């Protein structure tokens, strides 16, 4: 289980995340964001609890994504399959999401909602994951965004499978930072 907190003058966010379950208890004060977080949890197979307060919707959405991304990277197994790719239809919408959770943050979209496009970019950066979203079809922004969250969840479910081995041509990767005075 991972617990991440983010406190600023604009937001107060607490995220608890653990593998298994696929359930969400999200109370952000934004019903659409809660709906997307519930879809994310359900389809990723992760159990998610988000408690959040914010002054503005933009700050709320961004900081929840950053905090969830931080919590997410803490639960990645060392032998994770790393890659996932899913296509999800939702009424008029058809959305493909491909992910690599190997530590290289990059986001390629866009989604038709700038706010939720920013959510994906913020989550990608803090989770240190590559996320590509391709909107294949759709005109209803709600359906497109929801299909993207569901496809992201399913792709991450695949990427989180513990294979028991390091899935990289580099083998294990170790980074360290030392004090300049040493």
Segment of 157-161, 164-168, 178-182 carrying the highest mean pLDDT: 157-161
d(CA 11, CA 15): 13
For residue 69, pLDDT beyond 70:
yes
Domain 2-159 has CATH 3.40.50.2300: no
d(CA 171, CA 169): 6
Q: What is the pLDDT of residues 87-122, one digit of tens each?
A: 999 999 999 999 999 999 999 999 999 999 999 999
Pair of tokens at residue 21: 């379950």
For residue 17, pLDDT beyond 80:
yes
Other CB atoms within 10 A of residue 134 CB: 14
pLDDT at 169: 65
Whether the CA torsion 163, 165, 169, 175 is positive or negative: it is positive
pLDDT at 181: 63
For residue 172, pLDDT beyond 80:
no
For residue 167, pLDDT beyond 80:
no
Q: Are 168 and 82 in contact (CB under 8 A)?
A: yes
> 0.85 cut: is pTM over it?
yes
Strands (E), 8-139: 11-19, 24-27, 46-54, 83-90, 93-100, 106-108, 130-137
For residue 178, pLDDT beyond 60:
yes
- Distances in whole angstroms, Cα of residue 100 to Cα of each of 33, 38, 66, 175: 24, 22, 17, 19
């Amino acid at each position: 289980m991972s617990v991440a907190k983010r406190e600023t003058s604009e937001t107060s966010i607490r995220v608890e995340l653990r593998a298994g379950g696929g359930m969400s208890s999200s109370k952000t004060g934004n019903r659409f964001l809660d709906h997307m977080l519930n879809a994310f949890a359900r389809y990723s197979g992760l159990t998610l609890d988000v408690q959040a307060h914010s002054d503005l919707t933009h700050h709320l959405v961004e900081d929840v994504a950053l905090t969830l991304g931080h919590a997410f990277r803490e639960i990645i197994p060392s032998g994770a399959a790393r890659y996932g790719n899913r296509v999800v239809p939702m009424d008029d919408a058809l959305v493909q999401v491909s992910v690599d959770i190997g530590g290289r943050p990059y986001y390629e979209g866009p989604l038709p909602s700038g706010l939720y496009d920013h959510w994906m970019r913020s989550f990608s950066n803090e989770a240190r994951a590559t996320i590509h979203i391709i909107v294949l079809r759709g005109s209803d922004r709600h359906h497109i965004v929801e299909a993207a969250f569901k496809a992201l969840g399913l792709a991450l479910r695949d990427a989180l499978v513990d294979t028991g081995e390091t899935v990289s041509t580099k083998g294990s990767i170790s980074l360290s930072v030392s004090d300049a005075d040493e």
